[in-house]
Amino acid sequence: MDLPERYNVGADLLERNLSHRSAKVAIHSAAGDLTYGNLFKLANGAARRLLDLGVRREERVLLVGYDSPGWVASFLGAVRIGAVPVPVNPLLQRSEDYTHYIEDSLARVVVVDANTEEKLKPATGRLATMRADQLEPDSDVPSAPTRRDDMAFWLYSSGSTGKPKAVVHLQHDIPYTCVTYATQVLGIRESDTTFSTTGLFHAYGFGNNLTFPYWVGASTVLHAGRHTPQTVLDTIEKQEPTLFFSAPTLYNAILNFDGAKSRNLSSIRHCVAAAEALPAEVWRRWKDAFGLTILDGVGSTEMLHIYCSNRLDDLRPGSSGKPVPGYELKILDEDGKPVKQGEAGDLYVKGDSALALYWAQHERSKRSILGDWFFTGDRYRVDPDGFYWYEGRSDDMIKVSGLWVSPIEIESALLEHPAVAESAVVGIGVEGFTKIKAFVIARPSAVPGDALTTELQEHCKSRLQRFQYPHMIEFVPELPKTVTGKIQRYKLREKEVAPA
C-alpha cells in the first residue's frame, strides 16, 4: 500500500465518500437510514464530545454498546482525534467483566448506550461516560495528524482461555485488510449492502459491517442485540443485503429453523463464514437449501480479518481455502521445522495487518510474534492442491494411543448423521489414559440412549480411521459457546474434571 506518512484511518473511511456519496445511505438500522454526509457530522459530534471530556491523543476510550450509528460515530470520532477506541462485548452481564477492561485499558472515557449504561455503572464509578445514542452532529473537527504506524484501536481477544487480552492495531492495518481480502477475495463494490450477524466489537464483524463497506462506499445493515434464525431471516428479507456474513453455528441453526427454506434470500450474492471451521455437511445443506455458496475462511483478532479463504472459483467444502493475496502461511512441527505435505502442524501467518503487540503482555507477545510471523495457535494441514484444512486448536487436539486426533473431523462426521443437530468433541482422562468424548445435541426426532450411542460410534468408524471415534457420548441440551458462536471446548474439558 502507498499510504502517506501522516495518515488517519478514522478520517479516511468517511472523507473518501463525501465528495460524490454524501447523500448515499451508509447505514440501515432500526433508527432509520443515515447517509455518509450525516454520518460524517455525527462522527465529528462524537469527536467534539470526547475532546470536551478531556480525551487526548492515544488515550483509550472504552466502547460498550450495541451495533448502531452512534457506535460507528463514536469509534471513528475517537480515531479522528488520535484517541484509541477499545470496543468490547456489550452482551456480558457481570460488571466485573467490564472492570477488567477498564483497568486493563486505563480508559479515560466509557461510551455506553441505553442497553448498557445501567449495568456499566458499578464498573465505571467516577469515570466519565458518553452516550453513543445521544450524540449531536457537529461541524468539522480537524483530524489528528496521526502516522500510518501509530496505534489506532484495540480489540480484545475472544478470551477462550483466561482473561481477554488487548490486541493493539495500527492505523495502516485497516486499509491492508481492505485491499487484500475485501477487494481480492470478497470483491466488495459500491453497490453492495453488507449484513453481518457478528457484532462490530469483534474483528470479523468490524470488517464486514464497517471498514470494508466504507472503503468502497457501500451500505451496511446494523442490527442491535442478539441474532436468532428468525431475526436474521427477517432482516435479510426486509433489507435485502447482497453480502451476508455469519458464523457456522448460526448457518446450521438457520438450516434447522422451521420454514427457513421457504424464505427469500435472493438478494444475496455471496455468503461468508468465519470464527470457526465450517463443516462440509453444513456447506452442502446451505447450497441445497438456498443455492448459495458459502466462502469459508480463517482469520483472527490478531490479524484483524480473514487471511486464508475459499473463492467462488476455487473452493473445497470443509477446508479453509488458500492464502489470501498479501498473506503467507507456513505449517511447522513442535521443533519449528516444516511438516511434510499432508501432515498437521502449527500454523503461522505473515501479513501487514498483524497486531503490534498484546497490551501489557510482554511474554505472550514474544511467544506469539516471531519477527514477521504470528503463531496462530491453530493446527492445520495442507493438501496437494494447496487447500488448508483445520485440525483444531493446538490445545484442542487429542492424542490417543500416540496418535493425534482432530475433534473437527469427528464433529463433522457426527453432523452427517440425521440424528445429530450439533456436536463438540474433547479428550478426557480416564484412569490415566486419554479417551474421546462427544457431547451431542440430538434432533427432536431422535431418541437419545445406548442404541443411538452405538449407532453414532459405528457411523464415525465407517467414515474415519478406526481409532477416530467417540469412546463416550453424552446427549446435552446445549453447548457452551462464545458470543460469536465458537464452541468453548475447554469448558467441556473442565466439566469432566470438576470435583463432585
Express each pLDDT in 1-19 by its tens digit: 899 999 999 999 999 999 9
**Structure confidence at residue 500 (pLDDT):** 43
**Structure confidence at residue 400 (pLDDT):** 83
**Percentage with pLDDT > 70 across the chain:** 98
User: Residue 379 above 80 pLDDT?
Assistant: yes
Based on the fold, state whether residues 52 and 131 are members of the same structural domain. Answer: yes
From 168, 191, 226, the end of a domain falls on 168
Residue 112's domain comprises: 1-168
**Structure confidence at residue 297 (pLDDT):** 97
Based on the fold, state whether residues 349 and 490 are members of the same structural domain. Answer: no
What cell does 117 get? 449504561
Do the Cβ atoms of 79 and 153 come closer than 8 Å? yes
**Structure confidence at residue 40 (pLDDT):** 98
Q: What's the one-letter identity of residue 331?
A: I
| Helix H or strand E encompassing 286 | helix 280-290
Based on the fold, state whether residues 267 and 385 are members of the same structural domain. Answer: yes
Categorize the per-residue pLDDT at 160 as very low, low, confident or very high, splitting at 50, 70 and 90: very low
Domain total of the chain: 3
Q: What's the one-letter identity of residue 90?
A: P
- Higher-scoring residue by pLDDT: 448, 400: 448
User: Residue 220 above 50 pLDDT?
Assistant: yes
Based on the fold, state whether residues 437 and 472 are members of the same structural domain. Answer: yes
**CATH code of the domain containing 197:** 3.40.50.12780
What radius of gyration do the chain's Cα atoms show? 23
Please tell me the distance from the alpha carbon of residue 336 to that of residue 160, in angstroms, as a whole number.
25
Based on the fold, state whether residues 239 and 334 are members of the same structural domain. Answer: yes
Based on the fold, state whether residues 384 and 241 are members of the same structural domain. Answer: yes
User: Residue 139 above 90 pLDDT?
Assistant: no
**CATH code of the domain containing 419:** 3.30.300.30
Average pLDDT over residues 362-377: 96
**Structure confidence at residue 226 (pLDDT):** 87
* Residues 6+ away with beta carbon under 8 Å from 500: none
Convert the pLDDT of each residue in 67-112 to its tens digit. 999 999 999 999 999 999 999 999 887 788 899 999 999 999 999 9
Do the Cβ atoms of 265 and 435 come closer than 8 Å? no
Based on the fold, state whether residues 274 and 201 are members of the same structural domain. Answer: yes
Q: Is 340 helix (H, G, I), strand (E, B) or coil?
A: coil
From 149, 168, 187, the end of a domain falls on 168
CA distances to 197, 296, 325, 338 from 243, in Å: 11, 13, 20, 37
Average pLDDT over residues 398-425: 90
**Structure confidence at residue 477 (pLDDT):** 96
**Structure confidence at residue 158 (pLDDT):** 64
Convert the pLDDT of each residue in 195-219 to its tens digit. 999 999 999 999 999 999 999 999 9
Within 10 angstroms of residue 253's Cβ, the number of other Cβ atoms is 19
Based on the fold, state whether residues 234 and 134 are members of the same structural domain. Answer: no
Based on the fold, state whether residues 213 and 163 are members of the same structural domain. Answer: no
**Structure confidence at residue 414 (pLDDT):** 97
Convert the pLDDT of each residue in 434-486 to its tens digit. 899 999 999 999 999 999 999 999 999 999 887 889 999 999 999 998 877 78
From 358, 379, 394, the end of a domain falls on 394
Backbone angles phi, psi at 88, to 5 degrees: -135, 165
Q: Give the E-state strand segments of 264-359 in sequence order.
A: 270-273, 294-299, 306-309, 322-323, 328-332, 345-350, 357-358
Residues 127, 130, 135, CA angle at the centre, nearest 5°?
A: 170
User: Residue 347 above 90 pLDDT?
Assistant: yes
Mean pLDDT of the chain: 94
Q: Is 335 helix (H, G, I), strand (E, B) or coil?
A: coil
Looking at residue 384, the DSSP 8-state letter turns out to be T
**Percentage with pLDDT > 90 across the chain:** 83
Residue 119, class by beta-carbon neighbours within 10 Å (0-12 exposed, 13-18 middle, 19+ buried)? middle
User: Residue 159 above 50 pLDDT?
Assistant: no
Based on the fold, state whether residues 196 and 330 are members of the same structural domain. Answer: yes
CA distances to 76, 124, 131 from 95, in Å: 26, 9, 18
Categorize the per-residue pLDDT at 394 as very low, low, confident or very high, splitting at 50, 70 and 90: confident
Q: 36: alpha, beta or left, given left = phi > 0 and alpha = psi -120 to 50? A: alpha
**CATH code of the domain containing 125:** 3.40.50.980
User: Residue 429 above 90 pLDDT?
Assistant: no
User: Residue 411 above 50 pLDDT?
Assistant: yes
Based on the fold, state whether residues 22 and 143 are members of the same structural domain. Answer: yes
Based on the fold, state whether residues 282 and 388 are members of the same structural domain. Answer: yes
User: Residue 497 above 70 pLDDT?
Assistant: no
User: Residue 499 above 60 pLDDT?
Assistant: no
